[in-house]
C-alpha cells in the first residue's frame, strides 16, 4: 500500500509538471526553448504512462489477492 501511495504522489507531481510544460510551451517565444520544453513534456508524458501501468498492475494484484480471501 505504501508503494501504491508513493506512485500516486509521483503521478500527481508528474501531471503538474506536464501542465506547467504545456503552459510554457504555449507562451515561449524562443524556438530553442520550445524544443527543450517539448522534449521535457514528451519525457514527462512517457513517465506518467509508465506510472499508470505500474498502478494498474498493483490494482490487479490487489483485486486478485482480495478474491483469493
Q: What is the DSSP string of 2-66?
A: HHHHHHHHHHHHHHHHHHHHHHHHHH---HHHHHHHHHHHHHHHHHHHHHHHHHHHHHHHHHHHH
pLDDT tier at 50 (50, 70, 90 boundaries)? very high
Res 20: pLDDT: 97
The answer, yes or no, to whether residue 4 has pLDDT greater than 90, is yes
- Report pTM: 0.85
CB 14 within 8 A of CB 51: yes
Per-residue pLDDT tens over the stretch 6-44: 999 999 999 999 999 999 999 999 999 999 999 999 999
Amino acid at each position: 500500500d505504501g508503494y501504491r501511495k508513493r506512485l500516486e504522489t509521483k503521478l500527481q507531481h508528474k501531471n503538474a509538471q506536464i501542465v506547467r510544460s504545456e503552459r510554457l510551451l504555449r507562451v515561449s517565444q524562443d524556438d530553442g526553448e520550445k524544443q527543450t520544453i517539448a522534449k521535457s513534456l514528451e519525457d514527462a508524458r512517457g513517465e506518467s504512462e509508465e506510472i499508470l501501468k505500474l498502478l494498474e498492475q498493483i490494482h490487479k494484484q490487489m483485486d486478485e489477492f482480495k478474491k483469493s480471501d
